Amino acid sequence: MQRIASLDDIAAGLDALCRIDPRLEAVRGKAGEVPLRLSEPGFQSLASIIVSQQVSRASADAIFGRLVKLVDPLTPQAILAAGEGIFREAGLSRPKQRGLLAVAEAVAGGLDLDHLCTLDAGEAIAAMTAVPGIGPWTAECYLLFAAGHPDVFPARDVALQTAVGHALGIDPRPPEKMLIRLAESWSPWRGVASRLFWAYYRELKGRDAAPPVEIAKKA
């Protein structure tokens, strides 16, 4: 598996996508900078994605910022030891509290988040979604940003649906199943396509909707 590990990889992927689908040349021109968005694999990266489920980027940043101050270091053991009061103070909803606890229990029990990054996407997503609190979107985003997987497209993401719909003139925005079918034509560079359309959404709406990446990789 070729990993998306540098801005050169992003550029190569964008060039390939524009050859595959010439419509994406205009999207690329309007999207501006397409960032790498790569994080260290592990519990903290996955926790940041869980926190960002179904909330705005600004809300996710605020909640996760409070959580890492209250639970430092943010490890599975520390989450399992944290009381409900800490979760409330951080601003975590009940479902996200349950999700973080379930993931912490799974990792403490042997779920290897580093090893998952080496697997085929389908195999990794199946293993992750077997854990309560990890749905397909969360697993896909983890593989995109922690594994640098080149061919994952989170079609359930509303910002991606909105961006693709606007960029390609699809009204109303394409729902999940339609977007999955559309994104298949961008394989094996769907991971770069997702970054492209999040960047397009940022320019379109004036705000970043991509899930936060909290632990930047060193150059």
Q: How is residue 107 written in tokens? A: 């990792």
Given this model, what pLDDT does residue 218 score?
37
Mean pLDDT of the chain: 93
- Of the listed ranges 47-56, 102-111, 139-148, the least confidently predicted one is 47-56
- Cα 16-136-209 angle, rounded to 5 deg: 65
| Span 105-124, average pLDDT | 94
Does the pLDDT of residue 215 top 80, yes or no? no
Given this model, what pLDDT does residue 83 score?
86
Given this model, what pLDDT does residue 214 score?
55
Given this model, what pLDDT does residue 1 score?
63
| Span 63-78, average pLDDT | 94
Predicted confidence band of residue 7 (pLDDT cuts 50, 70, 90): very high
Given this model, what pLDDT does residue 156 score?
95
Contact indicator for 79, 150 with CB cutoff of 8 Å: no
DSSP string, the chain: -----SHHHHHHHHHHHHHH-TTHHHHHHHH-------B--SHHHHHHHHHTTTS-HHHHHHHHHHHHHHSSS--HHHHHH--HHHHHHHT--HHHHHHHHHHHHHHHTT--HHHHTTS-HHHHHHHHHTSTT--HHHHHHHHHHTS--TT---TT-HHHHHHHHHHHT-SS---HHHHHHHHHTTTT-HHHHHHHHHHHHHHHHSS--SPP--SBPP-
The pLDDT tens digits for 21-46 are 999 999 999 999 999 999 999 999 99
Q: Whose structure tokens read 């004036």?
A: 206
Does the pLDDT of residue 163 top 80, yes or no? yes
CA distance linking residue 173 with residue 20, whole number of Å = 22
Given this model, what pLDDT does residue 211 score?
85
Given this model, what pLDDT does residue 200 score?
98
Domains of the chain, first to last? 7-36+151-205 (1.10.1670.40), 43-145 (1.10.340.30)
